[in-house]
Amino acid sequence: MPNVKSAIKRVTVSEKKAVANKSKKTAIRSTIKKAKANVAAGENVEATLKATQKAVDQAAAKGHMSKNAASRMKSRLAKAAKADK
């Protein structure tokens, strides 16, 4: 455990941020998972795809996933949606 006041604060702040980041990453993953399921089932594909792409873009902008990973995910979802048409 740190002894300096600023170091103690950094520990508490980093723990809080880690919890927040974990919940955001989990939400992104679940959104992508739901989108894949909807595309496979052919239900509400356009709206789901649009919402998922927006969520992925926002996650990339906030730094929760890299830009390349976001682009790759959007491309794969669009490809799957196009193949199911």
Mean pLDDT across the stretch 1-5? 93
- How confident is the model over 12-68, as pLDDT tens digits? 999 999 999 999 999 999 999 999 999 999 889 999 999 999 999 999 999 999 999
Return the pLDDT at 18. 96
Return the pLDDT at 70. 96
What does the alpha-carbon distance between residue 61 and residue 55 come to, in Å, rounded to a whole number? Answer: 10
55 within domain boundaries = yes
19 within domain boundaries = no
21 within domain boundaries = no
Which range of residues forms the domain containing residue 83? 45-85
What does the alpha-carbon distance between residue 49 and residue 30 come to, in Å, rounded to a whole number? Answer: 14
Give the model's confidence band at 6: pLDDT under 50 very low, under 70 low, under 90 confident, else very high.
very high
Tally the domains of the chain.
1
66 within domain boundaries = yes
* DSSP notation for 37-80: HHHHHTSSHHHHHHHHHHHHHHHHHHTSS-HHHHHHHHHHHHHH
